[in-house]
Amino acid sequence: MVDRANGYNGGKEEKEGRWTTIKVPVELRDAIKALSEKFGVPEYRVVWWGVSFFTEQISHPRIKEYLPLLDKASWYIAKLSMSVGAFKENPTPDNMSKLMKTAMQVSERLRVDTSYLIRSAENYMRHIDNDTKMELNASLKMVILDTMWKCLTEGKDSLFTLPDKLRKILQAVEQGQR
């Protein structure tokens, strides 16, 4: 099947149609040839992929802007959650120290208030029971929510700076859940 609009001709070199050559550095030619062999596609297809990728990056430049904050936030959410879990399983001064260190990192690096989580952990260490465990869980949840809210609303990394298409998708999801 020939799909010229997408640059695909079923894996066979196209003998009909208009073809041309382009002048490129030897290193680029070698890279195109290596990728062509690796993926088992014609060399022009590798060039087509590169042009398509570049075009996509140019047409959606803001998507890249919010990834660093989300990546950082997801790492600290996971790290803090694991730290709280380890502390609940084994509430020792060493695990308390590790939890406090992680909470302070979240506070300093993401500018999220973690003081109530630290107070809940201290309270749990003094009185280990279901009530203090639920308080600790609720405090962790609040830190996670605060972190997520910060990613959604603040600065150049705000999800509200997404292109209109993605903003509409988020709004549709929100309306569907109500």
List the structure tokens of 79: 């790290």
- 107-159 per-position pLDDT tens digit: 988 889 999 999 999 999 999 999 999 999 999 999 999 998 887 776 554 54
Q: For residue 162, what is the enclosing H or E element?
A: none
DSSP string, 49-115: HHHHHHHHHHH-TTHHHHHHHHHHHHHHHHHHHHHHHHHHHS--HHHHHHHHHHHHHHHHHH----H
Token look-up 């630290």 returns 118
pTM for this predicted structure:
0.52
Cα angle 113-76-95, degrees, rounded to a multiple of 5: 85
Pick the closest to residue 77 from 140, 7, 8 (CA basis).
140
List the structure tokens of 106: 């979240």
- 74-94 per-position pLDDT tens digit: 889 999 999 999 999 999 999
